């Protein structure tokens, strides 16, 4: 696999060695058990897969290359490069300006851009409409396009489905940048509809089976379907694709449910004429991270720490999985843990930051799960591990533990 040139401060002395050893021992990624680091009074279960994926490293490499290659030009990002506050803060510190926020609200008017400026398309991609605006200004949109190859794979599949007269069902969050981009492309070739979860899929199933009126469909999916969408005509033949950061298991559940609806309507012998097999569009990195999280759930840990931006979809899904079994904290960096052992935990249900006590007073030893989203640099994970060791007054040398892990990772 390609090695990316990204700034050195994104790398890490701890996690990089753990990942390198696991990759050497398990090149085909068959083993999803966590790595175990024993520091005596603190023991870490570290996910087999986490942190920067191919698409994110590719995006960061291109963004920093744009900075280096254009020292005297104005450089703009359409929106956040990835959903990580530290990465975006560093890009801003290097002079990059954001044109829109993550919801698509305008921060900089298009009139401020000229053909001499640089515009970077983020890893989530962008809409056909925004590409058209940039082209009309005269900006080269290809040179610094960081769209993830796996997002583009979904777009290509959607185009093929549309050419085969399928309606595109997009499993995603309606206002997420990637979903907006996928929807924008899908409607170029076919009717399209966005659904966010299995409950919306069940409502859609009732529509397909004629149990829900057309007006109820329009009310329920208001603003989430293409113009002119006719549920009586456009739900006869469908294909499901996803926002790549959604839980793959959820996408598969939705697809299987809709497949059963189609079988009930048309019979198993005709199923290929009514729903496409789109399993090949699921992102490998999202799958790996989620499989590794299931591996973490087999441990006897006391608590879990998930690291990433609070608006990161794939990171939120890791929290959803781990909190089913463990006391789980969702933080952005070591700055969210203070010297008294309090942690600023982001509650994904209330969308509020809550001050909590990280450790139990009555435990002499803590077993802690560590994982992060696809947009979190390993250096941030390192910082959290080091902060915890400081708080627990661990006297065990970090390098010694890493050296022992490299020699015997299955201790």
Question: Known catalytic residues?
Answer: 178
The pair phi, psi for residue 112, each rounded to 5°, is: -80, -15
Query: Do residues 124 and 154 touch, judged by C-beta distance below 8 A?
Result: no
Tokens of 295: 């591996």
Look at phi and psi of residue 49 and say left if phi exceeds 0, alpha if psi is from -120 to 50, else beta. Answer: beta
Task: Measure the CA–CA gap between 155 and 5, rounded to whole angstroms.
Answer: 27
Task: Measure the CA–CA gap between 182 and 246, rounded to whole angstroms.
Answer: 14
Task: Measure the CA–CA gap between 3 and 66, rounded to whole angstroms.
Answer: 18
Residue of 231, 225, 230 whose CA lies nearest to 187: 225
Sort 75 into a burial class: Cβ within 10 Å, 0-12 / 13-18 / 19+: buried
Query: Do residues 208 and 235 touch, judged by C-beta distance below 8 A?
Result: yes
What residues are paired with 98 via a beta bridge? 77
Which residues contact residue 400 at a Cβ distance below 8 angstroms, ignoring those fewer than 6 apart? Answer: none
Residue ranges in 125-247 assigned as alpha helix (H): 128-137, 149-163, 177-186, 198-208, 214-220, 231-234
Look at phi and psi of residue 239 and say left if phi exceeds 0, alpha if psi is from -120 to 50, else beta. Answer: beta
E strand map for 10-128: 35-38, 42-46, 75-77, 97-98, 118-120
In the chain, what is the straight-line distance between the N-terminal and C-terminal CA atoms, in Å? 29
């Amino acid at each position: 696999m390609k090695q990316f040139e990204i700034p050195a401060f994104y790398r890490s002395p701890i996690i990089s060695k753990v990942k390198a050893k696991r990759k050497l021992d398990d090149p085909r990624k068959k083993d999803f058990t966590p790595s175990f680091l024993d520091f005596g009074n603190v023991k870490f279960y570290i996910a087999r897969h986490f942190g920067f994926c191919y698409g994110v490293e590719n995006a960061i490499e291109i963004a920093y290359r744009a900075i280096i290659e254009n020292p005297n030009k104005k450089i703009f990002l359409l929106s956040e490069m990835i959903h990580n506050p530290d990465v975006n803060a560093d890009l801003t510190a290097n002079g990059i300006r954001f044109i829109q926020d993550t919801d698509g609200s305008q921060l900089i008017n298009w009139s401020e851009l000229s053909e001499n400026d640089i515009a970077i398309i983020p890893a989530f991609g962008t809409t056909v409409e925004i590409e058209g605006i940039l082209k009309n200004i005269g900006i080269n949109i290809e040179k610094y396009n960081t769209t993830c190859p796996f997002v583009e794979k979904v777009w290509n599949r959607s185009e093929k489905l549309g050419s085969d007269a399928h309606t595109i069902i997009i499993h995603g969050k309606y206002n997420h940048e990637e979903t907006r981009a996928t929807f924008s492309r899908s409607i170029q070739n076919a009717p399209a509809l966005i659904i966010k979860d299995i409950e919306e899929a069940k409502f859609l199933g009732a529509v397909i089976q004629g149990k829900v009126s057309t007006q109820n469909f329009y009310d329920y999916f208001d603003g989430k379907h293409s113009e002119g969408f006719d549920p009586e005509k456009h739900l006869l033949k469908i294909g499901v694709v996803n926002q790549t950061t959604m839980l793959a298991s959820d996408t598969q559940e939705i697809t299987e449910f809709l497949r059963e609806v189609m079988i009930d309507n048309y019979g198993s012998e005709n199923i290929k004429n009514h729903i496409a097999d789109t399993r090949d569009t699921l992102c490998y990195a999202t799958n790996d991270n989620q499989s590794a999280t299931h591996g973490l759930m087999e441990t006897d840990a006391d608590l879990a720490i998930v690291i990433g931006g609070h608006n990161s979809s794939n990171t939120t899904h890791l929290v959803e999985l781990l909190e089913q079994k463990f006391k789980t904290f969702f933080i952005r960096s070591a700055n969210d843990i203070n010297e008294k052992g309090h942690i600023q935990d982001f509650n994904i249900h209330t969308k509020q930051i809550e001050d909590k006590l990280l450790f139990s007073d009555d435990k002499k030893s803590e077993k802690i799960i560590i994982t992060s989203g696809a947009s979190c640099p390993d250096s941030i994970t390192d910082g959290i591990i080091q902060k915890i060791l400081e708080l627990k007054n661990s006297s065990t040398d970090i390098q010694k533990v890493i050296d022992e892990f490299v020699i015997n990772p299955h201790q």
